[in-house]
Amino acid sequence: MAIAALATVTYAENIDPNEDGSQYAYGENVGWLNFEPNVVAPNVGATVSGEKLTGFIWAENIGWISLSCENTGSCGTVNYGVTNDGAGNLSGYAWSENAGWISFSCDNTASCGTVDYGVTIDFDGNFDGYAWGENIGWINFYSADLYGYGVQACKVNFIDLGNFVDDWLLSGPGLPGDLSGNEEVDFVDYGMFAELWLTFCPDDWPLK
């Protein structure tokens, strides 16, 4: 897959903020999945926001995996993507040209009563749980206990900063920059955003 040719929107990935290798999930049938590949191209690497995951991740044995139709400009024709409910519960599908669909929650397949699985992100940005691919089996998103690796995301990114700037001093319901939930984007929200940025993104984090 020609990543640069297919990508239409460029995001700044926000995986592995401590630069300690927290960028790998593991599938017993496909090996490591790298959420921060060392490739300089648009949309390479995962970007986590409160609404979705975007970007391409890399698996040595099956190639590129797209986390959203936004990466390829196919939304409207082939709609898919990994969503985030804002509390860190992921759902939806990623797509691999070589391995097919990868489900991030049993809710996608209505199998939770018999096969309960899903991927979550905790308050510190750590991924946990399992995804399922019909052609590749289980993918473990917190492998630290078994393999010494896992996936971690910084809590805030340039998308969040853009939302905050766009909404500054606006009021009304449903504003992405309204972190306090009082339907106003003001210095209260600025303080909350700054605390998240300083707390969860280390001093040497490249987005700071």
Q: What's the confidence (pLDDT) of residue 7?
A: 43
Half-sphere exposure of 36 (CA within 13 A, CB side): 20
Rounded distance between C-alpha atoms, residue 5 and residue 83, angstroms: 24
3-state secondary structure of 198: helix
pTM assigned to the model: 0.73
Q: What's the confidence (pLDDT) of residue 157?
A: 63
The string of DSSP codes covering 50-88 is SSEEESEEEETTTEEEESBGGGTT-TTTS--BEEE-SSS
Rounded distance between C-alpha atoms, residue 162 and residue 177, angstroms: 9
Q: What's the confidence (pLDDT) of residue 155?
A: 65
Q: How far is CA 168 from the centre of its chain?
A: 25
Regions of the chain with pLDDT less than 50: 1-10, 207-208
Q: What's the confidence (pLDDT) of residue 163?
A: 80
Q: Note whether 192 and 199 are within 8 A (CB).
A: no
At 101-141, the pLDDT tens digits run 999 999 988 888 888 999 999 878 889 999 999 999 999 98
Q: What's the confidence (pLDDT) of residue 5?
A: 38
CA distances from 12 to 54, 139, 152, 159, 183 (A): 10, 24, 15, 8, 28
Q: What's the confidence (pLDDT) of residue 203?
A: 58
Rounded distance between C-alpha atoms, residue 143 and residue 27, angstroms: 10
Dihedral angle of Cα 35, 36, 40, 43, to the nearest 10 degrees: 40
Q: What's the confidence (pLDDT) of residue 124?
A: 80
